[in-house]
Amino acid sequence: MRQSLLGFLLLLSVAQAQTWNMATPYPPANFHTQNILQFAKEVEEATGSRLKITVHPGGSLFPHPQILPAVRNGQVQMGEVLMSLLANENPLFNLDSIPFVATSYEEARRLYQAQRPEVEKWLAQRGVVFLYAVPWPPQGLYTKRPVNTAQDLKGMRFRAYNPATARLAELLGMQPVQVEAADIPQAFATGIVEAMITSPVTGVDSQAWDFARYFYDLKAWIPKNMVVIGRRAFESLSPQDREALLQAARRAEERGWRLSQEQEEKAIQTLASRGMQVVKPSPALMADLKKVGQTMILEWQRQVGATGVKVYRQYLGR
Ligand code: PCA
């Protein structure tokens, strides 16, 4: 009798335990992914294994552009997405990927604080709960040949990863080609692209030394990944488990910002030790790129509407 009661209780707790899937776009060793794995572990511990999250990195469950739609319609419970990938749906998401708006971690944090309430609201209206965001290290230019002014970039095939990088390429007279992070090595190897702007971390992930010779440390912008959860999944949790998840998310956000800063320097050293020329961009190149940044922020202000302009003003402290 006692034995069967115990068995029954065990069954009950097993039945209540949930295993969720989480779709992410970047490779397993990347610090964003590692941070998410730690987050999943902490959620499992804090909920006494009532909630397990299986992380599927590298776009293995859904390709990057499909991740948010899949969370939205409940095909997957959680996901990670590059915020500025959503710029076509809402230009507000573009702000962290416009050159020279926020170039230090301190500025990136302030920009995030200004963006966050509107991002949360927009996602909530679409059945998605925003959990946290973590920045990539500042973005630099990878090329095969030396680049001294923007003129040297003209006509190149340029790897884009969101609408902002595609627009940047156009304004610089390059041809943008959308390529996911996982496909960078092949895109360079086959000549589909010959230059890109991304973080030193993504350069290391894609072994940029195999296809590029120069890394110009532009520190041009600091884009963020965001971690989201479907509302239906979130609401299926007990209040206690929801709180455990939110607390783990807060810790993951803090840890992620710290990891990002630590990784920047390390990754730049790896690029150099693998034989790449790590170069400070020339004043002429910087001036050219800043001009493009100005154009882009003007274009953006025209697109984004009153709410977006308010967010930008708040960031600028005006
Ligand atoms: N890595 C991602 C986005 C920004 C970054 O640093 C990528 O290149 O796709």
pLDDT at 85: 98
> In the 8-state DSSP scheme, what is residue 55?
E
Atom of ligand 1 nearest to the CA of 201: 6
The helix (run of H) or strand (run of E) holding residue 159 is: strand 157-160
Structure-derived torsion over alpha carbons of residues 227, 228, 233, 236, reported in degrees to the nearest 10? 80
**In the predicted model, is pLDDT for residue 15 greater than 50?**
no
Helix axes 105-124, 239-273, angle to 10 degrees: 140
Q: Which of 26, 67, 136, 139 to mutate to test the pocket of ligand 1 (most atoms within 8 A of CB)?
A: 136
What are the tokens at 231? 């509302």
What tokens were used for 40?
Answer: 């999943």
Which amino acid residue places its CA nearest to atom 3 of ligand 1?
A: 198
Would you say 271 and 202 are in contact if contact means Cβ atoms under 8 Å apart?
no
Query: Residue 275 C-alpha to ligand 1 middle, in angstroms?
Result: 21
Q: Is the pLDDT of residue 1 over 90?
A: no
pLDDT in tens, 16-59: 789 999 999 999 999 999 999 999 999 999 999 999 999 999 99
Q: What percent of the chain has pLDDT over 70?
A: 95
User: pLDDT band at residue 13, thresholds of 50, 70 and 90?
Assistant: low
Is the per-residue pLDDT at 213 higher than 60? yes
Show the tokens assigned to 183: 């496909």
Is residue 151 predicted with pLDDT exceeding 80?
yes
Please provide residue 294's backbone torsions phi and psi, each rounded to the nearest 5 degrees: -60, -45
Instruction: Report the chain's mean pLDDT, rounded to a whole number.
Output: 95
For residue 315, report the distance from its CA to the centre of ligand 1, in Å.
23
- For ligand 1, whether the C-beta of 198 sits within 6 Å is yes
Dist. CA 38–CA 61, nearest whole Å:
19
Q: Which helix (H) or strand (E) holds 270?
A: helix 239-273
Spell out the domains of the chain, with CATH numbers in brackets: 19-135+223-269 (3.40.190.170), 140-220+273-316 (3.40.190.170)
Three-class SS of 100-156: CCCCCHHHHHHHHHHHHHHHHHHHHCCCEEEEEEEECCCCEEEECCCCCCHHHHCCC
Alpha helices of 128-238 — where are they, by DSSP H?
A: 163-171, 184-189, 200-205, 231-235
Q: Answer yes or no: is pLDDT of 84 > 60.
A: yes
